[in-house]
Amino acid sequence: MNTRQRNVFIRMIIAIAIFIYIGYMARSYLPKFDFLVIMSFIALYLTWSIIETLIYQQPQTYAVEDDDRRSFAYMQFSSLAVLLYAALDFTGLHFTRVQSGEPTIIYIGFIIFILSSLIRYQAIRQLGHYYNPRVAVYQKHELIKEGIYKHLRHPFYLSAVLNTFSIAFIFSSLGAVLLVLVAVIPAILYRINIEEEFMCRHFPNEYPFYIQTSKRLIPGIW
């Protein structure tokens, strides 16, 4: 087990303990269906966390340049805001909870969550040793243009958009959907612009041609 996997494993143990405590406390006042929704989401989230930890591959060389410009932090903060608001809206606030659309909207949310995880899984496996949450390039870095990357340049960010929408749907929160539109998507577009500028600088011959033969975020459209 490498250092990253060990650290993730420790965080997961802590998270499981917290979730068990929250579940135990919530069971006494939440309706049964709401409680099952929360526990199902936690189970899916932890399952995916374990899978991502297991398929992660350590870089074989050092990163030679990094140009993140806090874009990763912006994406993480906006996604966390969606999760926190959606969970609070679902369990207590009910400011923008769309109860008239339940349980259908919740089931759709779980389907979207699974789809986003499958896309992310394919992207991580395809990148292999080049996977890095920051905008970085490694020694002897090769441009990945196969598999899911053959037609789509940013499957990770497609997965991130779907993931946040899935959370908003799972917790049946219209306010969380609006947060995705005004916070998450702008953060991801900012990140995409930084990454494409960075890749064009490091792959001046390959990347411009790759841009012409692939889509950014939406398969077959954009």
CA distances from 172 to 12, 85, 102, 124, 126 (A): 26, 11, 7, 29, 33
If you count them, how many residues does the chain have?
A: 222
pLDDT of residue 159: 95
9, HSE (Cβ side, Cα atoms, 13 Å): 8
CA distances from 61 to 52, 58, 117, 121, 138 (A): 21, 9, 27, 22, 6
Closest listed residue to residue 170, CA positions, set 95, 112, 116: 112
| Whether pLDDT at 173 is above 90 | yes
| Whether pLDDT at 149 is above 70 | yes
**Which residue spans within the chain are E strands per DSSP?**
63-66, 136-138
Interval 33-92: pLDDT, tens: 988 898 899 889 888 888 888 888 877 777 777 788 888 889 989 998 998 899 889 988
Q: How far apart are CA 104 and CA 210, in angstroms?
A: 39
pLDDT band at 11 (very low <50, low <70, confident <90, very high): low
* Average pLDDT rounded to a whole number, residues 159-173: 96
Percent of the chain with pLDDT over 70: 89
Closest listed residue to residue 159, CA positions, set 205, 113, 212: 113
* Average pLDDT rounded to a whole number, residues 19-36: 75
Q: How far apart are CA 210 and CA 15, in angstroms?
A: 40
pLDDT of residue 98: 93
* Paired tokens of 82: 């969606």
Note the CATH number of domain 62-212. 1.20.120.1630
In this predicted structure, which of 19-23, 134-138, 160-164 has the lowest mean pLDDT? 19-23
pLDDT of residue 179: 97
- Residue spans of the domains in the chain: they are 62-212
Nearby residues of 53 by Cβ (< 8 Å), 6 or more positions away: 4, 5, 8, 9, 12
Nearby residues of 113 by Cβ (< 8 Å), 6 or more positions away: 41, 44, 162, 163, 166, 167, 170
In this predicted structure, which of 10-14, 138-142, 170-174 has the lowest mean pLDDT? 10-14
| pTM for the full predicted model | 0.87
Q: How far apart are CA 89 and CA 172, in angstroms?
A: 8
CB 153 within 8 A of CB 195: no
pLDDT band at 7 (very low <50, low <70, confident <90, very high): low
Count other Cβ atoms within 10 Å, centred on residue 4: 12
Three-state secondary structure call for residue 103: coil
213 DSSP assignment: T
